[in-house]
Amino acid sequence: MKGILLINLGSPKDLEDESIKEYLKEFLSDDLVVDYPKQIQQILVNWIIVPNRYKKTQEAYSKIWTEEGSPLIQNTKELGLRLAKLSSLPIEVAMRYQEPSIEKAITSLKKKGCTTIRAIPLYPHFAISSTLTTQNKMIEEVKKIDKDIEIDFIEPFYKDPEYIDSLCSLIDENISKNSDFLLFSYHGIPIRHLRKASPEGKHNDNLCKNSDCPSRDYCYRFQVYETSRLCTEKLNIPKEKWKVSFQSRIGPGWLKPFTDKELNKLPKRGIKKLDVISPSFVIDNLETLEEINIEGRHNFLAAGGEEFNYIPCLNYRKDWVEVLNHLSKK
């Protein structure tokens, strides 16, 4: 029997100091996230990043935390519950980091008689720091639990027609009247990750914004531009009325242009009414609710903008649940 496993990135279990530190340490100690030699990585994580960053992270989470806990975890669980109403297959939800764990989800599916797991990492676009690390963790846990369980990973769904239709419906329903501009803000990654993701170990930066990109199956930058192109063409949004940017950078050498810089520049170009969407996330989380809808809003208005409209993630809207049901059967 086949089971379905929805996997998201993860969140601290609560707002206590130790929980925030534990989450950050697990996340940043992943060799596909902070991809430095292990000794250097651990010095950075344990002695510099976590001690200096956990309070700021804690404060940011406190702005979006609900009575039920983390919006990312709660909304992903709700997505799983709604998918279960459409599917006859057993469904579990897990996080790459922290709880609910991938190990517990696989164990639960095994107990239900599943010999094959259709694994759906909830990231539309391929990146080694999200898609690949999740795949690796799945393989690692299956080997520990039952090496005879088969894992069936879905392909990145950044251009899936039903996904694009759902995303376009979301935009169309939420975009402001008389909007000046639509900013697609995607999660940033280090540029070196584009090269590491490519099977050839190299990457042509001049090609990855168009269909000539030879590494399109693994190129995060190509895939986010393709999602944006497909959406704007379907919605008839002129090229001068939208742009791609990248948020959540840590340090130099990350994909440009940076979202925070664009939010400061756009009002100076006469763009006063701005819509922002973050399609690299299908569930609202810290990076959307706090970084974009709170900090980004403040920065845009402070720079001279007049109206800022954040378009929410797909979360568990009906057409997106139907897309997942379709993806689980492909």
Do 95 and 177 reside in the same domain of the chain?
no
For the entire predicted model, the pTM comes to 0.96
Do 200 and 82 reside in the same domain of the chain?
no
Print the domain residue range for 33.
Answer: 2-157+319-329
Q: What radius of gyration do the chain's Cα atoms show? A: 20
Answer positive or negative: Cα dihedral of 182, 186, 188, 191. Answer: negative
Do 169 and 41 reside in the same domain of the chain?
no
Do 128 and 58 reside in the same domain of the chain?
yes
Query: Average pLDDT for residues 272-301, to the nearest whole number?
Result: 98
pLDDT in tens, 107-127: 999 999 999 999 999 999 999
The CA angle 180-183-184, to the nearest 5 degrees, is: 150
Task: Provide the CATH number for the domain around residue 35.
Answer: 3.40.50.1400
Query: Average pLDDT for residues 124-139, to the nearest whole number?
Result: 98
Tell me, what's the pLDDT at 200? 75
Do 179 and 306 reside in the same domain of the chain?
yes
Separation of alpha carbons 173 and 308, rounded Å: 16
pLDDT in tens, 147-196: 999 999 999 999 999 999 999 999 999 999 999 999 999 999 999 999 99
Do 232 and 85 reside in the same domain of the chain?
no
Do 136 and 202 reside in the same domain of the chain?
no
Do 226 and 257 reside in the same domain of the chain?
yes
Do 265 and 230 reside in the same domain of the chain?
yes
Do 9 and 152 reside in the same domain of the chain?
yes
Q: Which among 139, 170, 172 is positioned nearest to 153, based on CA atoms?
A: 139
Tell me, what's the pLDDT at 211? 66
Do 87 and 213 reside in the same domain of the chain?
no
Do 30 and 139 reside in the same domain of the chain?
yes
Number of domains in the chain: 2
